[in-house]
Structure 1
């Protein structure tokens, strides 16, 4: 039995409970959710704490689980050291229920711990048949022939009576277009720009809202406010649904006895009316951009969502019949993060220019004054010398009072500067507020070192990544395109995993990739009709393994390294989180993708396929626009063939993990045959390089490991020469090859080469951005080429290196999920750093590394969390002694200038005097 609360002899206690990667998630439609925890040491001065068994209780009520019973699941004691990805194996879960759970563990001596604090999750609706609600919308539909949007975002409301206050009620809401939920005038929850962006040719995601606290005996009203946004997006056009915001919502209302009092569901009895807000412009790249919002204060109805409103003149909602699968939103919602303004400047033409201090993507709130009926305009810009970039602008129409407050609601801007036109007096600094918006995943890391430039790169990469992570996928840029490019994902995914808790986020994004598979890339004619999915021309649905270059957004150019994210990302998630389900769920997609590439392979070499933008190689290397990127030259063919081999090798590893031996053997054979063909076709035996001798193709060849084993070291030496000699330490790759380059160098432990590139202070490099007053990472190494973004996913790949390279906290390939890991301190000659420190909330607990060099000595302070073990690599001269005071870290080897220690859980101080 477990010990009673308040006393424990166990060395560990479980904390930080999660369900499907999240804390107390709501509305899950996963029949067998996975549970997890990490362990806290009862005495952090001790060593070797580990878990030998666990016991989980799951119950339908908090009272039951508090009594240490599990009426849904009592796992009994399971002899296991696993603490993540524990699949629920109790009674079948029911829809629209809350389940409570807790866990106890036994330590290394078999002593049982206290139970954890109680955690919970709630379920959504497991089957489509449980939805009796109907899709509703307004009668007005977007007409692309009219250009910019003319429709105001619609309100919907439904009044009803209750005999008594309910005990519980969850409102499930899915929408095409963003939505907000109100009950009796009160906004329910605080997410913004929801639901997460989704392929609305196939799916709509619902959120769960607890509305019981806002309901009351007597008359009640539920209000829904829809925003235009993705409802008019061209690639989501299908014949079964209108181009207008639509919503489906359903709530069962229960009394204290658990009896259902009534069901509220959207249907034709709901009323609708235009709100004062509308999309300003259009929604999409190539059709006028994403615009902003217009608020007309003359159309306000203050009590639109309260019981006091007389809605007899409102119209009846229209029932629509889209063929969409309803799925729970399994990713965190969007949240607001404050961005305070830095200053306001009056300009000679009577306008005012606000400096928000940093480039960001998000919302603003600005109090304004002017003449009654006038329109105040807000122009957003990334560049100080330009009044507006990418057509992002919003407006506020003043009512008779001549004053008001503009605030975003269903769109967002992106930039640093805001020009305000049409006001009669200067807005005060405290009249202006700003918020960055992003998916609310938790931070997972901190980092700092002795070099201010490296600290700037790290913090700016993180800030940029956050600004790109709105809506459950990573966009290339938040102002011009807003597409979820697979190629850009290669440049960001490990930076994301090493710095944030991204499990739910990437699980959702991979579902988006499964949804879009089978549709050809959205290249070709740049107009609304040709870009509509399943229409003639671009975007036709083939149903095979082809992948568009972005998900869930379809648009854009790319190539094999764009679609290939469907192989790379599941494998990274498995290694990082120990998640085998992500391999199983995406295995069919991986197989179809590789079959598609096979259909364009001759004599073991991948051939160019698709349109002019469908077979890109590297993208945006220094001076790339002048040299020409989209071409049929051999370097592109070489790079994409190397990438295909990497896909094949990775897919084979995935297949072996999940027991698909036949597929593994097939892909291994293909990889070896193609590697030989690539080496024969593109290797320069005199120069030891590939194709055009570029840094990009050297990196790609190493990434795919296409050379004979005996030549790999030679090619690495040639890459070193390319970086240090031919390029004088500068980087000379773009998005695609840059991600390959940094991955190769990180895996090879070549911190010296990465440091050389990240520490250069002239063009091209990150310092060049800093010295040109960047506050976010640019799209290109150059700043001033018109039409390019200054907030972009292009060069975020150093973000992972600061954790696994400089701080040295690395995955152990033999044990996924950081149950075992490596801490490798960089050699003195690798960097000019005198110290670095980081913390990393790994899936198995918080790892801390802090090393310092002084007077030729080295000190490493290390925390190894309970139930894990570290292999510690200390760089030292031949024969030098390494001190470690605790005696628990055991020296196990000396190789390549390092002394290796095996360290179980605990705190350590390693010293070289």
Structure 2
């Protein structure tokens, strides 16, 4: 049954289409399809999805027109680019499909084949039925659909890291294979999977600009392969393919299994084709590949609490010129060792890491001990390139620090051993640093600014959003939040911090995921991370505490496989403490993917994981209340609120039990919505009933009637109650009033929650439209708050509200939740929850005074097209300029405070009523200007 809101919307769209049809006499289509993607990626290589999904957006052919839309589409897919240019879709011709859908349309042609390239384009019909031109041609290639198609073997050096022997001693190995081709290849895709990092070379040339591939993965279960196009580098005659492996995650304790060494290993395979499409050679990794140590070695043991992640040491005396070239003689290298790990090979369906922003030093200080302190000007996680001079044979040390008063933080350091020339350049290969300051020791010649560079390294997803407003502090917070997020998203998941732990916490994901989705194109990124969560389900989380005998075992193992729906607190990394709001990301993140992208497959693929998680929680429910479970670190509530102790612990308190029960109710209600969307009505009814009974039990036990408050009456308890919506409907306004008083009066406008509670608080206030309360907290320059960080010289967002709290990091995922508010609150570009994916959305000008914000502008490249919003206040005058992309519509909420007349320039906006001090208008595609 359609809701009344849906019927009104459909009637509006029908009216708009009829109006535009009757008024137009043009025969040229009003729209053109652009920005083609497959599985959220642009021209992806090596996909192993048999029915990939295709998407596009539309651009208007005339910017001044209104109501442009799509009424039909036609997709053509071919294995021949030339045939596709002739409009022949010999693999799939969808024919004209009467539909306005343009996102995530499933391929439905001839079954795809492994290791093939496919070309595609799309045309649409506009609101008048006029056909557009076809889009530019896009493409994707397939990986290997069956494990049986892999004839290559896993290879290694025969070495293995032994933690009982102290720090890692293995050098990152080289591998190479020489072969002869009788003709110049036409096509060759090399599929490479590795445990640990890798680089690929063909005839001495590095293939692709990937950094630290592959994406981080649970290597107890799978290895992700990357497709490299190598045909351009291959020649008729002798060739060589070389791999350089990096230790990295290969020695990470939770990934240790009996069927593989704790050492970098790889598997690679390519079929080489001629112009006729015939395979002229298959190259596979096997015992014929030759191996030798490279000059590079990991410093550290790669893990939190076991020596840290260290850095790299390069010994220039062990360099071998042209090691990856055809004419190099590798006869004295040893043969590779064959291995048989039990791992599923699957394609890496997420953007690779790349070097993104070059960073130049701002100052170099020569200190009294003859060391040099380099200030890079900004805290960042990434690579460095540093040219140095010293005595031949000496070791130059690089110490990295987040803090100006410490030479090194979190044991991050690298080194360079000089050869006889006495000079060289340190450059990262298989690790990354994190910090702002670099202390260099062992030089005989001062370093030069021009010879020092840094780069941010991150997953190379696209930016989606531009935002700016009249308040310089808000701009600073927005930009620092984005910079921090980017520094945390290396390897296809979001880490808590890039220096100390590098774990993918579910609780921290709650604080970052909406900020991510409203500012970046993260469809592939989060799809991959959800697969990581499915992989780790069924494994115990943290074990006891550091004084328990089990702790040591957990540090050198991945924990017991318990089965069922239990979740560790991090994925794909296992380690770390947390609680219900950490494991609960397995419900929240698929739901966000649906809301922001309309991705139903995200709900379907993760449904059994969701059901398993709720079944696990069910086993700890008594009298409709969730009981505490697990060890000391397994039932955390909020984390690192202002004034929390160094560990931020409150997990045994009654308040914490209340907090987690409210979160559990939120999980149940969200899961019920998911179940209804995918037709799992029985599950939906069960979870809805449990949420109802739990809400009643929580409210009856914890509600303080005379105070209109809950539990310990803290900001986090009020937030949790509202987030779970556990109160009777008529009480919600009164509880909201209590939260308002807590923020404005009891906390004098400051925030008083931590990571988990803060994400929940901002979610509640954003949905309630309480931009005034969020602005109050984000505008403070005294402790606690983001402005306090700015006043204390921060260039990234800290782990805790206190700068110097017990070794906490200064680049962290903790408080990134304002990044979503700037887009859907300040600029007013909001979801319409009845229409996922932004086909219909809301523009709502915030009710902020001119002294708070006088203007804001944003451009959000949504999944359905580019949305623009720019509002400005001057005295009592307010103007709003918006752009609604083709095939979309919006509801505009324009404030009317003193019954002033509201005008709109085009005449195409339809007034539909008023609500909460706003006049509401429906608008179709086009550019609009509202003013009073």
Pairwise TM-score range, normalised by the shorter structure: over 0.9
Structure 1 residue 382: Cα displacement: 0.1
Residue 883 (structure 1) aligned with residue 903 (structure 2): yes
Cα deviation 1:272-304 (Å, max 9, x = unaligned):
000000001110001010000000000000111
**Distance in 2 of aligned mates of 1:42 and 1:546:** 52
Residue 106 (structure 1) aligned with residue 120 (structure 2): no
**Distance in 2 of aligned mates of 1:140 and 1:750:** 59
**Distance in 2 of aligned mates of 1:806 and 1:549:** 33
Query: CA 1:686 to 1:831, structure 2 compared with 1: closer, same or farther past 3 Å?
Result: farther
**Distance in 2 of aligned mates of 1:790 and 1:775:** 9
Cα deviation 1:143-164 (Å, max 9, x = unaligned):
1011211010000000000011
**Distance in 2 of aligned mates of 1:533 and 1:659:** 43
Aligned to 1:778: 798
Matched residue SS, 1:499: coil
Structure 1 residue 627: Cα displacement: 9.5
**Distance in 1 of aligned mates of 2:96 and 2:134:** 13
Residue 619 (structure 1) aligned with residue 626 (structure 2): no
**Distance in 2 of aligned mates of 1:302 and 1:405:** 15
**Distance in 2 of aligned mates of 1:346 and 1:466:** 32
Aligned to 2:284: 265
Q: Does structure 2 conserve the Cα–Cα contact (< 8 Å) formed by 1:530 and 1:536?
A: no
Aligned to 1:248: 267
**Distance in 1 of aligned mates of 2:734 and 2:462:** 42
Structure 1 residue 631: Cα displacement: 3.3
Residue from 779, 789, 794 that aligns with 1:769: 789
Residue from 554, 557, 562 that aligns with 1:542: 562
Q: TM-score, normalised by structure 2?
A: 0.96
Aligned to 1:897: 917
Matched residue SS, 2:612: helix
Q: Does structure 2 conserve the Cα–Cα contact (< 8 Å) formed by 1:35 and 1:85?
A: yes
Aligned to 2:310: 291
Residue 689 (structure 1) aligned with residue 696 (structure 2): no
Structure 1 residue 681: Cα displacement: 1.1
Q: Does structure 2 conserve the Cα–Cα contact (< 8 Å) formed by 1:297 and 1:396?
A: yes
Aligned residues: 906
Cα deviation 1:743-764 (Å, max 9, x = unaligned):
0000000000000000011000
Residue from 343, 346, 355 that aligns with 1:327: 346
Query: CA 1:327 to 1:687, structure 2 compared with 1: closer, same or farther past 3 Å?
Result: same
**Distance in 1 of aligned mates of 2:549 and 2:242:** 34
**Distance in 2 of aligned mates of 1:34 and 1:13:** 20
Q: Does structure 2 conserve the Cα–Cα contact (< 8 Å) formed by 1:236 and 1:533?
A: no
Matched residue SS, 2:837: helix
Structure 1 residue 583: Cα displacement: 0.2
Matched residue SS, 2:200: strand
Query: CA 1:627 to 1:388, structure 2 compared with 1: closer, same or farther past 3 Å?
Result: closer
Structure 1 residue 630: Cα displacement: 3.5
Aligned to 1:301: 320
Matched residue SS, 2:70: coil
Q: Does structure 2 conserve the Cα–Cα contact (< 8 Å) formed by 1:238 and 1:533?
A: no
Aligned to 1:631: 651
Structure 1 residue 639: Cα displacement: 0.5
**Distance in 2 of aligned mates of 1:171 and 1:530:** 43
Ranges in structure 1 where 5+ consecutive residues have no aligned partner:
1-6
Ranges in structure 2 where 5+ consecutive residues have no aligned partner:
1-25
Q: Does structure 1 conserve the Cα–Cα contact (< 8 Å) formed by 2:570 and 2:576?
A: yes
Cα deviation 1:791-824 (Å, max 9, x = unaligned):
0000000000000000000000110000000000
Structure 1 residue 530: Cα displacement: 5.8
**Distance in 1 of aligned mates of 2:640 and 2:797:** 13
Structure 1 residue 786: Cα displacement: 3.2
Residue 439 (structure 1) aligned with residue 442 (structure 2): no
Aligned to 1:451: 471
Q: Does structure 1 conserve the Cα–Cα contact (< 8 Å) formed by 2:515 and 2:817?
A: yes
Residue from 798, 802, 810 that aligns with 1:790: 810
Residue 559 (structure 1) aligned with residue 559 (structure 2): no
Matched residue SS, 2:867: strand
Residue from 359, 362, 366 that aligns with 1:346: 366
Superposition map of 1:67-466 within 5 A: 67-337=86-356, 338-466=358-486
Superposition map of 1:498-517 within 5 A: 498-517=518-537
Q: Does structure 1 conserve the Cα–Cα contact (< 8 Å) formed by 2:543 and 2:550?
A: no
Q: Does structure 2 conserve the Cα–Cα contact (< 8 Å) formed by 1:871 and 1:901?
A: yes
Residue from 505, 508, 516 that aligns with 1:496: 516
Cα deviation 1:160-205 (Å, max 9, x = unaligned):
0001110000000000000000000000000000000000000000
Residue from 41, 44, 54 that aligns with 1:25: 44
Query: CA 1:738 to 1:825, structure 2 compared with 1: closer, same or farther past 3 Å?
Result: same
Matched residue SS, 2:815: coil
Cα deviation 1:347-371 (Å, max 9, x = unaligned):
1110011110000000000000000
Q: Does structure 2 conserve the Cα–Cα contact (< 8 Å) formed by 1:755 and 1:831?
A: no
Query: CA 1:666 to 1:170, structure 2 compared with 1: closer, same or farther past 3 Å?
Result: same
Matched residue SS, 2:511: helix
Matched residue SS, 2:762: helix
4+ residue runs over 6 A deviation: 531-538
Query: CA 1:552 to 1:375, structure 2 compared with 1: closer, same or farther past 3 Å?
Result: same
Aligned to 2:7: none
Aligned to 2:616: 596
Query: CA 1:618 to 1:525, structure 2 compared with 1: closer, same or farther past 3 Å?
Result: closer
Q: Which stretch shows the higher mean deviation, 621-630 or 228-237?
A: 621-630
Matched residue SS, 2:512: helix
Structure 1 residue 528: Cα displacement: 14
Structure 1 residue 877: Cα displacement: 2.0
Q: Does structure 1 conserve the Cα–Cα contact (< 8 Å) formed by 2:543 and 2:554?
A: no
**Distance in 1 of aligned mates of 2:701 and 2:846:** 37
Matched residue SS, 1:624: coil
Cα deviation 1:812-857 (Å, max 9, x = unaligned):
0110000000000012449710000000000000000000000210
Q: Does structure 2 conserve the Cα–Cα contact (< 8 Å) formed by 1:234 and 1:528?
A: no
**Distance in 1 of aligned mates of 2:427 and 2:756:** 38
**Distance in 1 of aligned mates of 2:376 and 2:549:** 38
Aligned to 2:847: 827
Aligned to 2:676: 656
**Distance in 2 of aligned mates of 1:735 and 1:628:** 10
Structure 1 residue 140: Cα displacement: 1.4
Q: Does structure 2 conserve the Cα–Cα contact (< 8 Å) formed by 1:379 and 1:387?
A: yes
**Distance in 2 of aligned mates of 1:664 and 1:235:** 35
Q: TM-score, normalised by structure 1?
A: 0.98
Structure 1 residue 342: Cα displacement: 1.2
Residue 44 (structure 1) aligned with residue 63 (structure 2): yes
Q: Does structure 1 conserve the Cα–Cα contact (< 8 Å) formed by 2:850 and 2:873?
A: no
Q: Does structure 2 conserve the Cα–Cα contact (< 8 Å) formed by 1:380 and 1:419?
A: yes
Structure 1 residue 538: Cα displacement: 7.2
**Distance in 1 of aligned mates of 2:299 and 2:647:** 37
Residue 584 (structure 1) aligned with residue 604 (structure 2): yes
Residue from 804, 807, 826 that aligns with 1:806: 826
